[in-house]
Structure 1
Amino acid sequence: MKRQAGWIAAETAAGLLGTVLTTFLVSRIVGPAEVGRAALAGAVVMLAQPFVGYCFTNAMVQRARLSDADIASVLWTSLALAFAFAVPLAAAGLLLPDWLGPGVGPVLAALSLMLPFNAVEGTANGVLLRAYTFRVLALRGIGAHSAGLAAGLSLALAGWGAWALVGQQLAFFGTAAVLAAAFARLVPSLVLRRDAIREMSPIAVTAAATGLAGRIGFRLFLLVVAGGSPGLAGLLQIAFRIVEVARELPTPFVHRYGLPALSRLRADRPAFLRRLEAVCRLSGLAFAPVFAGLALCAPEVQAALLGPAWAGIVVPVRVLSATLAFAAFGLPLGLAFVAAGMPKVNLWLTLGGLAFVLLLASLVPEGSGEGAAAAWALMLAGEVAALGALAAWRLGFRPVRQLRAWATALLPAAAVAAAVLGAEAAGVLPPTLPPLAFLAAKVAIGVAAGGPLIVLLGRPAWREVAEPVLDKP
């Protein structure tokens, strides 16, 4: 299990590096307007992804027995859905080149090619995740990020503007699909078991609806608060993306160590709750300091990675990161409901959060990136609070256990904040340092202050999480 964790860490590090070197450096080269153009097209395509790529993944993991015929049925169903979405989207983009904005249509047509890749990758991921093959999942992620980096940066440096982002996305998802299929030995027979699809459909439909609601939320929110301004839309897209990079860091750990084990333990409620508390504690310990550090380092991240054209992202990044530092322990709670066979809880919470954030968006002053970030932060805080209340009610995950995980997570986060702010106040970090050196110094100070506490406080939880849970005969 320790080796598996090392592979997850390697994939996470490669993902972070790949995102920084593609999304942010490409954005620095092409500028906010081109980023906004690609974001408009990508928003439409990404609304189809929950139905096409990943709705059956969790259902495959939870299924008591998964036969070769089941896998083939999932693949053919996912591919059929992919082409059902991709063909009309590509046609609309080519026939209406200025739909959603000047030149957005062709970008939309090209990005629709991602959907068949998503269908293949989602099916293969279900096979790999079910088998605890974290090493090959990590290799898939590392390969995909490397391909995306090469395509995105080369096209951006060649002056392709928004098309650099298109190339990055196609290279990433195409490589991920090929590698995942190869590692899963995905050579399905020409069979379609309707009963298997029917049995997996409740979880798949709920997962798709939950993913769709989450994707609609951000995109509708962006349209309301950006007021049709591509420049502001680009700034908000990247500000939110910076925070999402940090938020995605726990995803491989939480999903791979949480979902399979919790799914197997759901009939043993005491063991389920022990494992859930351990996963929540580790999530908070590892990632509350990350979010706290991001809030402190936002100006240096902007200056070092994006340049002066992107100065408007600093305050939004700080607001969102500070909120997530307090909420990091609660990131696994949504996954717990899936493992317990209650995925509809997440769907209703997502829909409620969507309604709430759109109400807040209507109150944001026009053109205010800071107000937009504050509205989204309120939604995030409310979502975690609601998840905690429902976990106590529906799962028996008592508030005292949640408070224990929350308080433990805040200790290293507070140590990171105190050390960095103290170093700045004492003049240890001279303001004359170049942005990249200043950022590296802040990170080093934060790691030195928070790292030992994370290791010390996380040992008991890690022992619980590292204990494998096998299928019952």
Structure 2
Amino acid sequence: MFSVHVSEPARDELSVGSSRSEGILLDVSDREEGQGKSLAQSAASGILVTMTGQVLRIAVQVLSVAILARLLSPTDYGLLAMVAAVIGVADIFRDFGLSTAAIQAKTLSRAQRTNLFWINSGIGLILAIAVFALAPVIASIYRQPALVDIAQVLSVTFVLNGVATQYRADLNRKLAFSTLAVADVASPIVALGGAVWLALSGAGLWALVGQQLIQYSVMLVIVAWGARWLPGLPRTSVPMDGMLRFGWNIVVTQLINYVSNNADYFIIGLRSGAVALGNYSRAFQLLMNPLNQVRSPITRVAIPVLAKIQDDDAAYGAFLLRGQVAMGHSLGFVLGVAAGAAAPITVLFLGGEEWSGVAPLLALLAVAGVFQILAFVGYWVYVTRALTFRLLQDSIFSSSVRLALILLGSQWGVIGVAVAYALAPALTWPATFWWLSRFTTIPTRGLYLGALRIVALSGVAVAASWLTTVWLQDAAAIVSILAALLTAGLACAVVCAALPPFRRDALAILDVARRMARRSSR
């Protein structure tokens, strides 16, 4: 709803250098008999559908801001943001990790699905009541009496989201990505239309509140219709302990990440003031929020596919390697260009000398983004192999390192915090693969080598784009950015053509693209 800042020791590891591994890496097709299409094709088509939906969703969000900003005041947005910042913590508990528990389960009976539905709906209702009752407290924190009514009305969204949670999980488990994409795009479009009508009618702030209610109501209708099932009565005889433990570990992990991911904002505001925090938040929202929105649909596809092949170590490891390569090089290239061309990007999107301090922060956060994606496939393993307690331990370790570095870096102001934010994942990502290899079978060596290749190629993109922007420093921002993209692309293409390991990565990415294109043409 509201944004929030993610057995036996390994044997017979799959090496990228082995012929067996290479064959699997380049073709994970038809592993599951009895299905009309391969999981590889399902994954490719799923990525295409979800990425298309995500692009459309982001476009609707931008359009919403552009339209409503002309009809409403900054104060309206500020009041809504105050409420969202507080009740966003409660939203972590609304899902309780049970949607992920349902998706990754090897088997899920109708009775278990029904129980999960009532658990999520009950949690949503309890949270709605809690937020409604605590609305005066929220208002007193900000000394804004108007927040009481806003918080109480928005509390209804917890109920709507609680009811919708297992419908979305069921669609995800069935790989029904088209229905999910329709829900993700149609609901904000309808909500935008309603908000515009309310704003033109003079509703002011309540246009934004109405937008939230409409969006989640439409979302619920679409996913419930798409899932095409109705819950029965809950049954206490059905075993749920394993799923609840799974969900609890996810919740605690999310809480730890919430604190860790918001520590930089708190410390910058406390030590460096509003101007520094404003620059940092603009850089973060310009780069990290879109990055998270792109990673989300990829994970939405990867987890159910990996859950289906979790007992086949060869296919499972090959999918991890392919996923790391496809996601890492694609996002790493974009982040590399963002780091190298941070100055003209800042001018293009923010403009003016007053935002000049954003450019170095943007570059550092882009570097942080590259290191963050290196071990992101580890999250897929933690979830699909039901290692959520190990994920919790990993999160505690990485969050502790990040907090310590941010506290140390804050001695040098906002730049020090940004350096710390980039340094933390650079130091902790290797630990993720090592930690996982102690409890499950993963292609550890292949994942390490793949990560190093992603860093190397991202570094090529950084260097090429930076040199281009320095050469074109007097050109228009858009010209510098386009030129940086072109030169970085050419430089990376040369590396891929000259070095076999990078060439194999490029072929694997092209194969994923081919599958997506073939699926879209049907």
TM-score for the superposition, normalised by structure 1: 0.82
Q: Which residue of 1 aligns with 2:254?
A: 211
Q: Which residue of 2 aligns with 1:47?
A: 89
Q: Does the Cα contact within 8 Å between 1:38 and 1:104 map onto a contact in 2?
A: no
How many Å apart are 1:281 and its aligned residue?
Answer: 1.4
Q: Which residue of 2 aligns with 1:223?
A: 266
- The 3 A distance-change label for structure 1 pair 412 and 359 is closer
Between 1:174-183 and 1:82-91, the stretch displaced more is 174-183
Q: Which of 150, 155, 162 is residue 112 of structure 1 equivalent to?
A: 155
Alpha-carbon separation, structure 1, partners of 2:258 and 2:470: 41
Q: Does the Cα contact within 8 Å between 2:339 and 2:462 map onto a contact in 1?
A: no
Residues 1:72 and 2:87 are matched in the alignment? no
Q: Which of 308, 311, 315 is residue 271 of structure 1 equivalent to?
A: 315
- The 3 A distance-change label for structure 1 pair 96 and 333 is closer
- The 3 A distance-change label for structure 1 pair 175 and 325 is same
Point out where structure 2 has 5 or more consecutive residues left out of the alignment.
Answer: 1-40, 497-501, 517-522
Alpha-carbon separation, structure 2, partners of 1:64 and 1:370: 46
Point out where structure 1 has 5 or more consecutive residues left out of the alignment.
Answer: 468-473
Q: Does the Cα contact within 8 Å between 1:319 and 1:373 map onto a contact in 2?
A: yes
Q: Which amino acid aligns with 2:329?
A: L
Identity %: 18
Q: What secondary structure, in the 3-state scheme, does the structure 1 residue paired with 2:178 have?
A: helix
Alpha-carbon separation, structure 2, partners of 1:169 and 1:444: 40
Q: Which of 73, 82, 85 is residue 124 of structure 2 equivalent to?
A: 82
Residue by residue over 1:274-323, the C-alpha shift from the partner in whole angstroms, topping out at 9 and shown as x without a partner, is: 22112111121221112112223444444444454655443332211112
Q: Which residue of 1 aligns with 2:340?
A: 296
- The 3 A distance-change label for structure 1 pair 161 and 418 is farther
Residues 1:195 and 2:243 are matched in the alignment? no
- The 3 A distance-change label for structure 1 pair 300 and 404 is same
Q: Which amino acid aligns with 2:248?
A: V
How many Å apart are 1:161 and its aligned residue?
Answer: 8.9
How many Å apart are 1:423 and its aligned residue?
Answer: 3.3
Alpha-carbon separation, structure 2, partners of 1:445 and 1:30: 42
Residues 1:146 and 2:189 are matched in the alignment? yes
How many Å apart are 1:232 and its aligned residue?
Answer: 5.4
- The 3 A distance-change label for structure 1 pair 39 and 440 is farther
Q: Which residue of 2 aligns with 1:400?
A: 445
Q: Does the Cα contact within 8 Å between 2:96 and 2:248 map onto a contact in 1?
A: no
Q: Does the Cα contact within 8 Å between 1:73 and 1:196 map onto a contact in 2?
A: no
How many Å apart are 1:132 and its aligned residue?
Answer: 0.9
- The 3 A distance-change label for structure 1 pair 390 and 442 is same
Q: Does the Cα contact within 8 Å between 1:45 and 1:111 map onto a contact in 2?
A: no
Q: Which amino acid aligns with 1:287?
A: L
Residues 1:329 and 2:377 are matched in the alignment? no
TM-score for the superposition, normalised by structure 2: 0.75
Alpha-carbon separation, structure 1, partners of 2:249 and 2:445: 30
Q: What secondary structure, in the 3-state scheme, does the structure 2 residue paired with 1:140 have?
A: helix
Q: What secondary structure, in the 3-state scheme, does the structure 1 residue paired with 2:438 have?
A: helix
Q: Which residue of 1 aligns with 2:56?
A: 14
Between 1:114-123 and 1:302-311, the stretch displaced more is 302-311
Q: Does the Cα contact within 8 Å between 2:95 and 2:120 map onto a contact in 1?
A: yes
Alpha-carbon separation, structure 2, partners of 1:159 and 1:441: 46
How many Å apart are 1:244 and its aligned residue?
Answer: 2.5
Residues 1:137 and 2:185 are matched in the alignment? no
Considering only CA atoms, is the larger Rg found in Structure 1 or Structure 2?
A: 2
Alpha-carbon separation, structure 1, partners of 2:380 and 2:511: 20
Q: Which residue of 1 aligns with 2:505?
A: 457
Alpha-carbon separation, structure 1, partners of 2:197 and 2:279: 23
Q: Which amino acid aligns with 1:316?
A: L
Q: Which residue of 1 aligns with 2:384?
A: 339
- The 3 A distance-change label for structure 1 pair 347 and 213 is same
Alpha-carbon separation, structure 2, partners of 1:220 and 1:235: 16
Q: Which residue of 2 aligns with 1:362?
A: 407
Q: Which amino acid aligns with 2:103?
A: V
How many Å apart are 1:342 and its aligned residue?
Answer: 0.8
How many Å apart are 1:162 and its aligned residue?
Answer: 7.7
Alpha-carbon separation, structure 1, partners of 2:227 and 2:250: 22
Q: Which of 413, 419, 424 is residue 469 of structure 2 equivalent to?
A: 424
- The 3 A distance-change label for structure 1 pair 275 and 411 is same
| Higher relative contact order structure (alpha carbons within 8 Å, sequence separation ≥ 6) | 2
Alpha-carbon separation, structure 1, partners of 2:334 and 2:319: 23
How many Å apart are 1:167 and its aligned residue?
Answer: 5.6
- The 3 A distance-change label for structure 1 pair 64 and 340 is closer
How many Å apart are 1:176 and its aligned residue?
Answer: 2.9
Q: Does the Cα contact within 8 Å between 2:50 and 2:181 map onto a contact in 1?
A: yes
Q: Which of 122, 127, 138 is residue 165 of structure 2 equivalent to?
A: 122
Alpha-carbon separation, structure 1, partners of 2:203 and 2:372: 39
- The 3 A distance-change label for structure 1 pair 401 and 164 is farther
Alpha-carbon separation, structure 1, partners of 2:238 and 2:312: 29
Between 1:82-91 and 1:357-366, the stretch displaced more is 357-366
